[in-house]
Amino acid sequence: MKKNRAKILAYPYMVWMIIFIVIPLFLVLFYSLTKGNIHDPSSLSFSLESYARVFDRNYLTSIVKSFKLAFISTLLCFFLGYPVALIIATIKAKYKNILLMFFLVPIWMNFLLRTYAWMSILSPNGFLNRLLSFLGLPALSIMPGQTAVLLGMIYNFLPFMVLPIYTVLSKIDKSVLEAASDLGANKIGTFFKVILPLSVPGIVSGITMVFMPAVSTFVISRLLGGGKESLIGNLIEEQFSLYRDWHFGSALSIILMIVILISMAVMSRFESDNDNGGAPIW
Amino acid sequence: MKKKCMLFLSCITILIGLTVLSGCNSDKVVLNIFNWGEYIDPELLVKFEKETGIRVNQDLFETNEHMLAKLEGGGSYYDVIFPSDYVIEEMIKKDMLQKIDFNNVPNFKYVGDRFKNLNYDPTNEYSVPYFWGTLGILYNTEMVDEEVDSWDILWDEKYAGQILMLDSMRDTIGVALRKLGYSVNTTDPEILEQAKNLLIQQKPLVNGYYVDEIKDMMINGDAALALNWSGSAMDIYWEGADYIKFVVPKEGANLWFDCMVIPKTSKHKKEAEMFINFMLDPENAYQNSLYVGYVSPVTEAFERIMQENPEIADMDAYNPSDEVLDNCEVFIDLGDARPLFNNVWTEKKYAE
Amino acid sequence: MVKFLRKFYMSLIFIFLYAPIIVLIIYSFNESKSRGHWGGFTLKWYAELFRDREIIKALYYTFLVALLSSIISTVIGTFSAIGIHNMGLLGKKFALNINYLPVLNPDIVTGIALMTLFISLNIQLGFVTMLISHVVFNIPYVILSVLPKLKQMNKHTTEAALDLGATPAYALRKVVIPEIMPGVITGALIAFTLSIDDFVISFFNTGPGVTNLSIHIFSMARKGVKPSINALTTLMLLTVVILLLLINKRTTKGDELIP
């Protein structure tokens, strides 16, 4: 009986969700499928032209670039981050806390601030080039550009790859590792056949937590891209902030949302499949 | 449990501290202004509050197009906005502005006559001039040792990666059009196509498309050449970087006027008019012009700065000659041709 | 050998992570505004930071919204989680799937969707809309933290309490809530952290005069060098390190640091 009574606690939130989660998304969907002045409902008519525009060569290039950059940064975050997670997980307990804590400090600092910090380092007369010229090396013109955006992504998202992997790694039962070495496996074998497969849920989490913000960011590309690197996030933001084309902006948002949700669905398959001890995603 | 209480308490403390620091908001009238970045001396806002008791909140926009998008998107209500000429034209056409009661703006008499009744607001009922200037090339004489007098230099491969362009549609497309020898207000699709290709051609040479960043980037030596507005050059000059010069190229450029307007959505018209009046006071206009760098239409302020700094009388950035001015065009509202320009801009942006 | 490699690799990573921050901190003491020359040691940028009305206002709103939003979303989220926990399978699935949409969606989509809602209803954007949008994306995280604790909870304890004569409200207060409290606290902390750092959703849903730290830095960053931001970076780093040290002192297991 209590069960029936208790569930009414959730009803207000259900209403809230409908108002603030469901309806807004439907509105976006609605605008993506119409054309006309959004402030004058009578002028709106059904149209697929916003979706058709997405396939315009220019926009497709931008969309592809976003995915490419997100993919590369996720990959790099994985290869750079997995060792970090491994090291922290296997280090002596007395150092573990300090190491983890100092690793987390940058995340707790404001995201915009961290990206801004990179601007100072990578700009033509920034710290990096000053250092290089001091050492007698040629200056690099990294910023603005794709490399700068990539670096910005890795810098911001690396901890999000490390943390889930670390969480999973630290929960691996030590006895499993002992069993492996008892059965004759050396360190490398243990890693590839035991540790890596067991860490797959963490890897999947990490990939999700890096890929999604990477593909939808507009801040990093705005600040480090110099107006030349326009990603999906920038495209969408511009439709609302600059071109006043709510229909096209909505269509792009819907497409982005669908792509992300599909990739998440695919990812979650891997999470539950890990009992088969398959190799990591890559 | 304790640590959570501590966290909670520290947050409350910080909040109280910040409230005190930011000055409590009582039931003062608050004026919301919508302005370009670094386009008003913050001390003047404080002075205004002291003199009138009206608090001023400033929101910033990057370009006219951003400003219009925010306004038309709805949801944000401003009392005073600082748009440019062609945008005022559009706003008047769309009935977005309130007529200014000049009885409340007696300081209007200080504005030079040549800034009144201009073509975008012929009856001068909706706008009050704020700053004006031209568009041209900023160049670092330590990095550029040749004479700069043409837009062509911005397409010069010698300066690849050292060129900054404005992330502003009308301005950058306007440059391409003038370089091709056409008016900045051309709506001929074929000519616009040529302009577009010119810009796409230029893209690999451009370090980046910016707005407010350009000033500091030039001072820092991050680039050798930049497309920018005249006032920026003055601002740089006042900061002491006299190795950076400004020129309006011989092909001609854009002459612009930024004005103060009161949108229909403002509920504080009287206070807005007080603010406009305040900005036209010669003393305030003088202070503002020195801080922002741009040239004031208030004659007294304009001449006073020139008297105190006689060397600037020859500078294109401060006091362009009639010859230069005749070669410049004012933007006009494109009306239905706006999508054409939008397309050129978008295609340039996403071309690889 | 392995040990050396480990240390070396970790040092590289830490240099990578901290270099930008350290550089900014150094510049915050630089007399000269330019990034190229060292003009001498100074504390004037810190003084300017405290005189900068805009930054103080941004910090004020950031904390205010984060605090209010985390409190509101924790309360609503906790009770809703309890409710959802007690729902039938179908209802639960339905509720949870919708609930997790703000978590799964990229923040730009959530931000734009909310903005579209407010604009369509002609609601003026400002403090209230910003607060509402924060609550919207905070509640799912609270629920995410509380639900597992509810699942772990022994159902029979609640039944026992009811059998012994407690009213449902009393059982809720004295049995359920204390059990799930760790989840509630974690949820509140996550909500708070997310709100403090939020940019995109606030960017689209705020109005004149209302800003937060991220939005402010974004507009400042596009104006070029602003040394007061460097000063802010130093202070922020200090605050974060002190906070983390304090939290660390009170935690026994290192794993609890992970939000």
Q: Domain boundaries in chain B? A: 27-130+256-311, 133-254+317-350
- How is residue A137 annotated by DSSP? P
CA–CA distance, B155 with B153 (Å, rounded to integer)? 5
Q: What are phi and psi of B300, to 5 degrees?
A: -55, -45
Domain range list for chain C: 57-223, 225-259
Q: What are phi and psi of B138, to 5 degrees?
A: -90, 135
Is the Cβ of A20 closer than 8 Å to some Cβ of chain C? yes
Q: Mutating which of B2, B12, B13, B14 best tests the C interface, going by the most C Cβ atoms within 10 A?
A: B14
Using beta carbons and an 8 Å cutoff, which residues of B are at the interface with C? Answer: 2-4, 6-7, 11-12, 14-15, 18-19, 21-23, 30, 32, 34, 37-38, 42, 57, 59-60, 62, 73-78, 210-213, 215-217, 219-221
Looking at residue B7, its pLDDT comes to: 58
Of C64, C119, C247, the CB nearest to B73: C119
Looking at residue C133, its pLDDT comes to: 95
List subunits contacting chain C, requiring 3 or more Cβ pairs under 8 Å.
A, B
Chain C residues 116-135 within an 8 A CB cutoff of chain A: 116-117, 119-120, 132
CA–CA distance, C181 with B56 (Å, rounded to integer)? 44
Chain A residues with beta carbon closer than 8 angstroms to that of C204: 240
pLDDT tens digits, residue range B157-170?
999 889 999 999 99
Quickly count: other Cβ atoms within 10 Å of residue A50's Cβ. 23
What average pLDDT does chain A have? 83
Find the angle CA(B97)-CA(B101)-CA(B102) to the nearest 5 degrees.
120
Whether residues A216 and C113 touch (CB distance < 8 A) is answered with no
Q: Name the minimum distance, in Å, from the CA of C222 to any CA of chain B.
A: 5
Nearest chain C residue to A6, by CA: C83
Whether residues B22 and C56 touch (CB distance < 8 A) is answered with yes
Task: Name the strand (E) or helix (H) holding A85.
Answer: helix A57-90
Chain A residues 160-189 within an 8 A CB cutoff of chain C: 163, 166-167, 170
- How is residue B260 annotated by DSSP? E
Looking at chain B, the whole-number percentage of residues with pLDDT higher than 90 is 56
CB A162 within 8 A of CB A239: no
Using beta carbons and an 8 Å cutoff, which residues of C are at the interface with B? Answer: 34-36, 50, 53, 56-57, 59-60, 63-64, 67, 115, 118-119, 122-125, 129, 185, 189, 207-209, 219, 222-225, 243, 246-247, 250
What average pLDDT does chain C have? 85
Chain B residues with beta carbon closer than 8 angstroms to that of A39: 72, 74
Nearest chain A residue to C250, by CA: A97
Q: Name the minimum distance, in Å, from the CA of B81 to any CA of chain C.
A: 12
Nearest chain A residue to C14, by CA: A103
Looking at residue A227, its pLDDT comes to: 79
List subunits contacting chain A, requiring 3 or more Cβ pairs under 8 Å.
B, C
pLDDT tens digits, residue range A125-146?
777 877 787 787 777 777 778 8
Whether residues A244 and B350 touch (CB distance < 8 A) is answered with no
CB B157 within 8 A of CB B251: no
Chain A residues with beta carbon closer than 8 angstroms to that of C158: 2
Nearest chain B residue to C188, by CA: B4
pLDDT tens digits, residue range B80-118?
999 999 999 999 999 999 999 999 999 999 999 889 988
Looking at residue C118, its pLDDT comes to: 92
Looking at residue A58, its pLDDT comes to: 81
Nearest chain B residue to C54, by CA: B22
Is the Cβ of C222 closer than 8 Å to some Cβ of chain A? yes
* Arithmetic mean of pLDDT, A24-41: 88
Residue B238 identity (one-letter amino acid): W
Q: Name the minimum distance, in Å, from the CA of B205 to any CA of chain C.
A: 21
Radius of gyration of chain B (CA): 22
CB B172 within 8 A of CB B282: no
Cα distances (angstroms) measured from residue B136 to each of A107, B175, B207, B280: 43, 9, 18, 27
CA–CA distance, B85 with B104 (Å, rounded to integer)? 23
Chain C residues with beta carbon closer than 8 angstroms to that of A16: 76, 139
Per-residue pLDDT band at A3 (split at 50, 70, 90):
low
Q: Which residue did the predictor score with more confidence, A70 or B4?
A: A70
Nearest chain B residue to C67, by CA: B11
Looking at residue C44, its pLDDT comes to: 86
CB C108 within 8 A of CB A24: no
Whether B27-130+256-311 and B133-254+317-350 share one fold: the answer is yes
Task: Using the predicted structure, report yes or no on whether residue A259 has a pLDDT greater than 70.
Answer: yes
How is domain B27-130+256-311 classified at the architecture level of CATH? 3-Layer(aba) Sandwich (3.40)
Chain B residues 163-202 within an 8 A CB cutoff of chain A: 167
Chain C residues 40-79 within an 8 A CB cutoff of chain A: 76-77, 79
Is the Cβ of C202 closer than 8 Å to some Cβ of chain A? no
Whether omega for the bond prior to residue A144 falls within 30 degrees of 0, making it cis, is yes
State ipTM: 0.84
Task: Using the predicted structure, report yes or no on whether residue A278 has a pLDDT greater than 50.
Answer: no
Is the Cβ of A95 closer than 8 Å to some Cβ of chain B? no
Looking at residue C149, its pLDDT comes to: 85
CA–CA distance, A161 with A179 (Å, rounded to integer)? 28
Task: Using the predicted structure, report yes or no on whether residue B347 has a pLDDT greater than 80.
Answer: yes
Chain A residues with beta carbon closer than 8 angstroms to that of B203: 228
Q: Mutating which of B25, B43, B76, B207 best tests the C interface, going by the most C Cβ atoms within 10 A?
A: B76
Whether residues B220 and C34 touch (CB distance < 8 A) is answered with yes
Chain A residues 208-267 within an 8 A CB cutoff of chain B: 225-228, 230, 240-244, 246
What 3-state class would DSSP assign to C138? helix
CATH classification (class only), B133-254+317-350: alpha beta
CA–CA distance, C120 with C124 (Å, rounded to integer)? 10
Looking at chain B, the whole-number percentage of residues with pLDDT higher than 70 is 92
Task: Using the predicted structure, report yes or no on whether residue B15 has a pLDDT greater than 70.
Answer: no
Task: Name the strand (E) or helix (H) holding B33.
Answer: strand B30-36
Chain A residues with beta carbon closer than 8 angstroms to that of B69: 240-244
Nearest chain A residue to B344, by CA: A58
Whether residues A110 and C213 touch (CB distance < 8 A) is answered with yes
Structural domains of chain A in order of their starting residue, each with its CATH number: 57-276 (1.10.3720.10)
Residue A11 in tokens: 């009803």
Looking at residue A1, its pLDDT comes to: 45
CA–CA distance, C178 with C82 (Å, rounded to integer)? 13
* Arithmetic mean of pLDDT, B6-17: 62
Whether residues B75 and C207 touch (CB distance < 8 A) is answered with yes
CA–CA distance, C218 with C205 (Å, rounded to integer)? 15
Quickly count: other Cβ atoms within 10 Å of residue C242's Cβ. 10
Tens-level pLDDT at each residue, chain C (259 residues): 778 888 899 899 999 999 888 888 888 888 777 666 677 888 888 888 888 888 888 989 999 999 999 999 999 999 899 888 888 888 888 889 899 899 889 999 999 999 999 998 888 888 999 999 999 999 999 999 998 888 888 778 777 887 887 777 777 777 788 888 888 988 998 899 899 989 999 999 988 888 899 998 888 887 766 788 888 888 888 888 888 888 777 665 444 444 4
CATH classification (class only), C57-223: mainly alpha
Q: Mutating which of A35, A149, A234, A242 best tests the B interface, going by the most B Cβ atoms within 10 A?
A: A242
Is the Cβ of A59 closer than 8 Å to some Cβ of chain B? yes
Looking at residue B24, its pLDDT comes to: 47
Looking at residue C183, its pLDDT comes to: 87
Looking at residue C178, its pLDDT comes to: 83
Per-residue pLDDT band at B153 (split at 50, 70, 90):
very high
Q: Let me know if C14 is exposed, middle or buried by CB neighbors in 10 A (0-12, 13-18, 19+).
A: middle
Residue B213 in tokens: 């960043």
Which string of DSSP letters, residue by residue, matches B84-106?
BHHHHHHHHHTT-BPPP-GGG-G
CA–CA distance, A197 with B46 (Å, rounded to integer)? 63
